[in-house]
Each structure stands twice: as C-alpha cells, then as structure tokens.
Amino acid sequence: METQDRSTFAAWTRITDFASANSLIVLLAFLAVFPFLVPYTAIATQILISGLFAMGYNILLGYTGLLSFGHAAYFGLGAYGAGMALVYLKMGLIGGVLFGAVTATLGAMAIGFLCLKRRGIYFCMLTLAFAQLFYFLALVVFDNYTGGDNGLRDIPTPPISLPFGISLSVATPLRFYYFVFVLCVLSFLAMRRMLNSPFGAVLQSIRENEKRAKSCGFNTNRVKLIAFVFSGFFSGLAGSLYAIYYHIAPLNTLYWTTSGSVVMMTILGGMGTFAGPFVGAAVFLILEDVISVFTKSWQLFVGAIFMLFVIFFPLGIWGTLQERVFYRWLRQD
Amino acid sequence: MGLQIGMVYVLLAIGLSLIFGLMTVVNFAHGAFFMFGAYMGLFMMGLTGNFWLSLVFVPVATGLLGLVVERFTIRPLYGRDLNYPLLLTFGLSFVMVEGVRLIWGTIGHAFDTPSVLVGPVNLGFAMFPRYRLFVIVATAIIVFLLWLFLEKTNLGLVIRAGTRDSIIVRVLGVDISRIWFIVFGIGTALAGIAGLLAAPMRGVHPDMGISMLIECFVVVVVGGMGSLRGAVIAGILIGEVVSITTLFYPMMGEVAIFIFMAIVLLIRPSGLFGEVGLLE
Amino acid sequence: MEILRTESLVKTFGGLRAVDGINFRLEGGQVHSIIGPNGAGKSTFFKLISGELHATQGKIWFQGEDITDFPPHVISHKGISVSYQLTNVFPKLSTLENIRIAVQSRKATYNFWSHREMLREVREKAESILEVVQLLPKRNELACNLSHGEQRHLEIGIALATDPSLLLLDEPTAGMSPEDTERTIQLIKEILGDRSVILVEHKMKVVMKISDKITVLHDGKILAEGKPEEIQSNERVQEVYLKGR
C-alpha cells in the first residue's frame, strides 16, 4: 500500500470508482424496494425521474466540466416530445418515451453546436439564452401545439404492447414506478459504461485541461458536442417520463427554474461522483416536501441551502461522504 | 424607438461588464438586483411618492445589498475555480426572486410614470414621450459620470488597471478585495437604477430580472464582455431589434433576440467586435 | 533531411509584431535550441508551430506538408508534440492516467462501450513511458500532488506519449534546481532516439550541452544561427544579451 496521507488520498479516484460500482449495486437494490419504504409512491417516482435528469446533467458538468444553465430545454423537449407523440401521434408508451428523448437529443445537437462556438462563461450564458428561446417558442409561437401557458394536457398512459399480443398496463402508481425504475437502471448502466470507456476518459481530460487534451490530439469540440448529446438524451428521457407521469407537459419544464433545480440537485449531491446527482435529487425533493409544509416559499430556503453548499460543501453530500468515509477506510489499510 | 430599452440594456451590460472585467465573476444575480431596484423604487414611491428621491435611494439600497452579498457570499469563493461564483450567484437569484415574491406577491405591480414626466415633448421634428427621453438622458448622464469616475479618479484608475491585470494591481500593493467590494457595489447599484428606470416602461414583476438578464447576456455575447464600447453599441442594437420586431410581429419580440444571437454566432462567432473574450 | 521549415512567418498582436518574418529550418534528428531575451518571440514562435496561434502571414511546412492553419489536434496527429513552459498537466487525474490518455489519443476516442482498462496495450505503453520519465512509483498520485520537478517530467512524458517525430520543449528545466536540471537533461538525451527536438531555454549551460544547433531570436527576427561554439563567440549575440539591445 502507498505510503502517506497524500498518496492514499491520491488513490481515491480509483477507490471511488470501485465504490461507485458497488454503490451502484447498492443504489439499485435500494431503489428496487424504495416504494415500500416511503409513505407514498409519488415521491419515489419523482426522485427517480429527477435523479435521472440530474445524472444526465452531470455527464456535462461533473465529467466534462461544462456548466450548462439551460438544461430545461432538453427536459422540456422530452416532456413536450413525449406528450405530442402520445396525444397527437397516438404512439405507444415506449414509442412516446423514445420520441421525447430523441426530440431532446436533436435539440441538444443543435443548441450544443451553437453554444460550443464560445467557451467559458459565454458558453454558460448561451445555454441559458437558448433554453429561454424554447420557452418562448412553446409559450407564444407554437402554442397551438403546446397549449401555451396551460401546457400540453391529458397525456395518456397507454399500456406497453409486448409481443404475442400481451399488453402490460403501467397505469397504477406502483407499476409506473417500476417502469421508470427499469428505464433508470438501463440508463444508469449505460451512463456508467460510457463514462468508464475510453470516450469517458477523454471527457475527463477535457474537464481537467482542455488545451492539453487538444494538443494530445483530441478534437475537443466534437467530443464536447457528443457529450452534450448524451446529456441531452438522458435529460430528455427524464422529461418524457415526467410528462407521462403527470399527464401534462407544463410550460415550466422549459423555464429557467427547471434549469436551476437540476444544477442545485447536482451540486447538493456532489458533481464529482457518479451517484452524487441522484442523491442530490432525492435530498432536493425531500427538502421541498418538508419545507412546503411550513411555507410556500420553499425555493427560497433550498436556494439558500444551495448557496451554503457552494461555499462550505462544494463536494456535495455524497462527495463529502465519499471523501471522509473512504479516505478513512483507506488509511486503515 | 427602441433606444430607451436599449439604454436600460446598456446600464445592465456595463454593470455586468465591470464586475466581470475586474473580478471575473459573472453575476448571475444581476437580473435579480435589477428586479430588486425596481421593487425598492416601488417601495420608496409608496412611502414618499417622490420619484427623484427614489432615484437616489434605489442605487444606494441596491448597492448596499450588493456590498453585503459580495462580502459574505462571493469573497469566500476567491481562489476557487470560476464556476463557483457563477453557481453561487445563480442560487442567489433564486433566493432574491423568491424573497421578493414572499414580500410583494407573485403578481406584478404597475409602476406609474412620475407625473412630471408624463406626456410628450416636442422635439421639433417629432413628438417624443417625455419619460423615454428622460431615460435616455439619465442613462447618458450616468454613463458619463461613470466614465469620469473611471478615467479621472485614482480609484477609477486602479479599477481600470485591475480589469486589465489583477495581478499587477495586487503587486502594487492595493487591497484587491476592497476594490472588488466597491466594484460589485457599483455594478449592482447600476443594475438597481436600471430596474427603477425600466419600471414605468415594463411594470414591476418578480420575473422581470431573469428575462432582462438573459437579454443582457445576449448583449454581452454579441458585444463582448469587458468592453464598454461593445456593451453600449450592442445594447442599443439589441434594443432596436426587439423594438422593430415587436412592431411587426408583436409576439416575436423576445424570440427575435435569440435568433439574432444565433445568427451572430454562426457568422461571427467571436461577437460583432471580434474580441475573443477573457477566459475563452 | 529537413523536417520543419517556416517561410517568412509573421504574427502580429494589434500593433506588436511578435514574430517578424522568421525563416527557420530544422534538420531531422537534431536538437535545435532557440534562445533570446524576453519578448524575443520564442514562445509565440512555438505556439505558431503547435497550432495554438494562427499565423498572420507566412507558412509552416512539416515533413513536406503545409501545416500553417491546422488546428492543434490535427498537428498532434501529424507527429508534433509540445511540452509547455507553465506546467500543463491534467491536475485531478492520476499520473498514470495523464500519460495513458495521451497514449489513448492514437488508439481510441469514440469508443463508448469498452472499459478503458481493457485497452491493455495503451496502459502498458503508458507505464513504460512513466518508467522512462522516472515516475512509475508515483503512478497513482494525483498530478496536482507531484512536486514541481516531477510535474515537469510528467509534462515531458505526456508529450512523449503520442510518439512524436518532433518534440517542442518550452523551458523544460524552468524553476528546477541544478540536480533536477541535470536529471532532466539526461532524460531529454535518453528520449531523443531519432526524434527531432526544438528546445527553448534560458539556461545557457543546458543549451550548450545539448544542442546540435542554436538559433538566436531578437525582436521577432532571427539574429544569428549556428553551432553552439559559433553562437558563443558571436559578438552581436553577446551584445544583445549583455546590453539588452
């Protein structure tokens, strides 16, 4: 085993990778029984959906180092996409979900392409601006299709049509939870695969030092765009599930507060870890629920808590836990 | 036509630019300070009914809030990477907007144009709304005063030097954190007064800040950050774009800004003035 | 055999002509040093070759190909590698990963599905390079935790990892103690093989010891060129260095 403090701490990137692999299993096992652990299934489903959104978001923030303030665009595109597929195109459930995710992905491609033309802080501003563009498009320009201020309503939950004429209904809360659960499992596994792949390594090198990554021979603009697209896909997937779950694609899915929420969730949980954003989403939603009992202005308090975290706990809950717990575990060896 | 709204953009963009140029902090709460200024104006008008008093009170109150924010929330982040102040001010804007909602409600308020400034003014070649002329003149005066301050005073010199190279300033023995403190105060005060000036034109609403901020970002992306000239020209240009679009397609005014921005990005990625921004 | 050539290379920043018509030739397999007082244009010249800056005028030829307007990542694939003056590593990645990712750039970028550890030969090559730069025991350290000298070696290692035919070394011994400097000189000599190296250095001893040829820059132009002994006895060079004119 390596010698002192700094060396053991230095190995933590590998250890947390290991921990993340295990924590993924633990997480998935936990989530399998989650609905039975909470008073009502709704919160469990909401946590899954928001967790997926935050995990998708973190591909860009935690792994590539790109701070987007406009991820509401992909969440909203997913929501409206799925909504339109199910309401106007009368698609099946899986079709609708995929349609939403693909719509978001296309949006990510277009927006990413434009935003990546600038770097640093300009990039951040552009992401915010483009999300706002989509908000206005939905509110004003395409309101015949989107329902404008009212949102796209009455989204059905068709059953899943399996081969041999079997039809699986996911219309009850518990069933829908497991439907979302399965999609989340697949998504988290896919994300994990991608982030551990050679491509994932390139993402991290860009985060650490883009100039150097370029001079090593990576076409960083193209790689960043692909990361954008992946992130958009999973965020859109979350948005699709959201719309189907609530039977409505509300306008605020495209509003900056949605972008803000996912940023807060990710930081609260820990952008430097794989599962952190999911933890953050859970904490965020629980806080919202708890604080709402006392006041309507829960956003005020969550915003303040977020600010405290940025100043004092930048590693987030899960990140800080990993550093303290695993660091200590390492030292005992 | 769009000149008066352009002027408001200019004030906002200048404040943002100043803060960014010196501190390399993008104040995502800039829009929230704008909104705060408008509400402070509302408050002052409710209290005294005197617009001129509000003109003095608003920048002071907003600037003070800015000073408190800088001292206690942004300064601890000094030395960390650039994303942190961004994230922090983003969170701050949430808090400020919700705070205003809590106190003044979610629905906006109308803000009456001060009676002295109501009505048209005969400019010889056209009749022009008095209040709008006032905004244009007031902004011009403020910008001029700011220019005087930056060019002619010692403190202004230090600020300008620091915008170029903060290390030099530190080496020269100036307490950089005090400069940041002041600049943040000035920047937010500018946002506040922009909010007050905008209030009779657009009303007062908790969400007024975020749309202005985004539009301000567009100005900055197009005109370049850290360039006062760029801020002024782009601000006026965007104001015109919005105005003209609203004239022909009333609903598309907002969307036009983003389309304009997208076009600029595609044609001249480094902005209209070709300045590759700091930290790009 | 000529491997790199610049033709009337110019780079202006506003009114400043940082590089003012440089005609430079590099012979393959040589260590060619560039020296000159501060502001002479050495770093700018480097950045023009590595693609970080765009030439205002002029051309750059590498192995017979015009690489003047190529972006950095393309230039890297052509076989040019840079080691920077200000240490430019991947801070929160391990030492091994720093090198491994550079090696990986030749093999796989858009592989989304294999685990990166499955690219065994990539890792093995990275480890062998780590050994060359004497950092193998520190393989799991985060790069930001290495000492200054170790980071400079890592820097060289990353540049080496892409198997370049031309290495651009910008002040590799910057900030090093005499012992570290000596060790780095040895390292550079070891890794030479049949590569070509352009070296920017301030330490005259290093330059004299290691160079096959020296070019002296001043005010963006070439002041003098020749073998180390020739440069050492060149009066104009002495004037510029001593009197700073």
Q: Specify the higher pLDDT residue, A161 or C90.
A: C90
- Among the ranges given (B166-170, C96-100, C162-166), the one the predictor scored with the smallest mean pLDDT: B166-170
Contact status of A287 with chain B (Cβ, < 8 Å): no
Q: What is the pLDDT of residues C23-77, one digit of tens each?
A: 989 988 889 999 888 777 888 898 899 898 888 889 999 998 999 989 999 999 9
Q: How many interface pairs between A and B have CB atoms less than 8 angstroms apart?
A: 121
Q: How does DSSP assign C97-144, residue by residue? A: HHHHHHHHTTT-SS--SS-GGG-HHHHHHHHHHHHHTT-GGGTTSBGG
| Residue in the structure block whose two tokens are 């590595």 | C50
Q: Where are the domains of chain C?
A: 1-79+165-245, 91-163
CB < 8 Å from C in window 190-219 of A:
193-194, 196-202, 204-205, 208-209, 211-219
Going by their DSSP bridges, the two strands C2-13 and C16-27 should be labelled as antiparallel
DSSP helix/strand/coil, A84? helix
Most confident of A221-225, B17-21, B171-175, C209-213: A221-225
**Residue ranges, chain A, pLDDT below 70:** 1-23, 326-333
Around Cβ B170, how many Cβ atoms within 10 Å? Answer: 14
Domain of A213, CATH number, reads 1.10.3470
Contact status of A327 with chain C (Cβ, < 8 Å): no
Q: Compute the average pLDDT of residues B121-136.
A: 78
Give dist(CA B217, CA B31) in Å, integer: 10
Q: Compute the average pLDDT of residues B122-144.
A: 81
Contacts of A124 in chain B (CB under 8 A): 26, 86
Q: Where are the domains of chain B?
A: 3-204
Give dist(CA A45, CA C25) in Å, integer: 67
Q: Residue C72: CB partners within 8 Å, gap ≥ 6?
A: A211, A214, A215, C50, C51, C52
Give dist(CA A62, CA A58) in Å, integer: 5
Contact yes or no for A239/A104 (Cβ under 8 A):
yes
Contact status of A316 with chain B (Cβ, < 8 Å): no
Check residue C134 and give its pLDDT: 87
Contacts of C76 in chain A (CB under 8 A): 214-217
Contacts of A211 in chain C (CB under 8 A): 52, 72, 88
**Exposed (0-12), middle (13-18) or buried (19+): which is B121, by Cβ within 10 Å?**
middle
**CA quadruple B43, B48, B53, B56: dihedral positive or negative?**
negative
Q: What is the CA angle B35-B13-A301, rounded to 5?
A: 35
Q: Specify the higher pLDDT residue, A210 or B250.
A: A210
Going by C-alpha positions, the residue among C162, C143, C142 that lies closest to residue C151 is C143
Contact yes or no for A210/A220 (Cβ under 8 A):
yes
DSSP helix/strand/coil, C215? strand
Helices (H) and strands (E) in chain B, counts: 11, 2
Contacts of A193 in chain C (CB under 8 A): 112-113, 115
**Exposed (0-12), middle (13-18) or buried (19+): which is B195, by Cβ within 10 Å?**
buried
Give dist(CA C131, CA A308) in Å, integer: 44
CB < 8 Å from A in window 259-278 of B:
259, 261-262, 265-266, 269, 277
Contacts of A226 in chain C (CB under 8 A): 110
How many domains does chain A contain in total?
1
Instruction: Find the closest chain B residue to A304 by CA distance.
Output: B95
Q: Compute the average pLDDT of residues C88-97.
A: 91
CB < 8 Å from C in window 9-68 of A:
9-11, 13-14
Check residue C95 and give its pLDDT: 92
Check residue B166 and give its pLDDT: 62
Contacts of B86 in chain A (CB under 8 A): 67, 121, 124
**Are A303 and B80 within 8 A, CB to CB?**
no
Residue among A14, A212, A218 whose CB faces C89 most closely? A212
Question: Most B CBs within 10 Å: which of A122, A126, A130, A259, as the mutation test of the B interface?
Answer: A122
Question: Most C CBs within 10 Å: which of A196, A215, A229, as the mutation test of the C interface?
Answer: A215
Give dist(CA B108, CA B125) in Å, integer: 36
Check residue A4 and give its pLDDT: 41
Around Cβ A319, how many Cβ atoms within 10 Å? Answer: 23
Check residue A2 and give its pLDDT: 35
Contact yes or no for B193/B56 (Cβ under 8 A):
no
Contacts of A311 in chain B (CB under 8 A): 73, 76-77, 88
CB < 8 Å from A in window 162-221 of C:
162
Give dist(CA A4, CA C141) in Å, integer: 11
**Are A260 and B94 within 8 A, CB to CB?**
yes
Contact status of B211 with chain A (Cβ, < 8 Å): yes
| Residue in the structure block whose two tokens are 């489903």 | A45
**CA quadruple A188, A191, A196, A197: dihedral positive or negative?**
positive
The nearest CA of chain A is from the CA of B102 a distance in Å of 7
Residue among B94, B211, B218 whose CB faces A299 most closely? B94
Q: Could you tell me the two tokens for A57? A: 């978001």
- Among the ranges given (B53-67, C98-112, C167-181), the one the predictor scored with the smallest mean pLDDT: C167-181
Does the structure show a pLDDT above 90 at B2? no
Instruction: Find the closest chain A residue to B72 by CA distance.
Output: A311
Confidence class for position B168, pLDDT limits 50, 70, 90: low
> Domain C1-79+165-245 falls in which CATH fold?
Rossmann fold (3.40.50)
Residue among C72, C82, C104 whose CB faces A201 most closely? C104
The pTM (predicted TM-score) of the whole model is 0.89
Question: Most A CBs within 10 Å: which of C77, C88, C113, as the mutation test of the A interface?
Answer: C113
Confidence class for position B249, pLDDT limits 50, 70, 90: confident
Does the structure show a pLDDT above 60 at B126? yes
Residue A283 one-letter amino acid: V
| Residue in the structure block whose two tokens are 């601890």 | B76
Q: Specify the higher pLDDT residue, B176 or A137.
A: A137
Domain that holds residue A41: 5-332
**Are B86 and A67 within 8 A, CB to CB?**
yes
Q: Specify the higher pLDDT residue, B272 or C133.
A: C133
Going by C-alpha positions, the residue among B222, B219, B208, B204 that lies closest to residue B269 is B222
Going by C-alpha positions, the residue among B37, B17, B86 that lies closest to residue B189 is B37
